[in-house]
Amino acid sequence: MLALRDHYLEKLALETKRVPDMGTTAINNSTNPDAWAIKYIDVVWVQPIPEAFDDDALGFITVTEVNRFTSSRPADRR
């Protein structure tokens, strides 16, 4: 999960041409519609996030489980 956070922080830094940091300034000032999610991919959520994806509780998250989870988002939400 933390590697995923680093990936998105680096991506955001490239978009904003800033050095990646752990603060929320770049996240809050971003025009990227997914920037808000970076705040929730941290140590506090390391356990609950994978549990939300892992339907069968085997400890492995499949592409199908990820697709099912992400497609369950309401259509009017970004």
Instruction: State pLDDT tens for residues 1-52.
Output: 778 788 888 888 787 766 555 555 666 667 777 778 887 888 887 788 888 8
pLDDT of residue 24: 59
Q: 58 is in which domain, residue-wise? A: 2-71
Q: Decide if 24 is inside a domain.
A: yes
What's the angle, vertex CA 19, arms to CA 34 and CA 4, rounded to 5? 45
Report the candidate in 19, 22, 26 with the shortest Cα–Cα distance to residue 5.
22
Q: Decide if 40 is inside a domain.
A: yes
Q: Decide if 77 is inside a domain.
A: no
Q: What total number of domains does the chain contain?
A: 1
pLDDT of residue 47: 82
Instruction: State pLDDT tens for residues 61-75.
Output: 888 988 888 787 666
Q: Decide if 34 is inside a domain.
A: yes
Q: Decide if 51 is inside a domain.
A: yes
State the Cα–Cα distance between residues 3 and 6, nearest whole angstrom.
5
Report the candidate in 61, 25, 2, 1 with the shortest Cα–Cα distance to residue 12.
25
Give 57's pLDDT tier (boundaries 50, 70, 90). confident
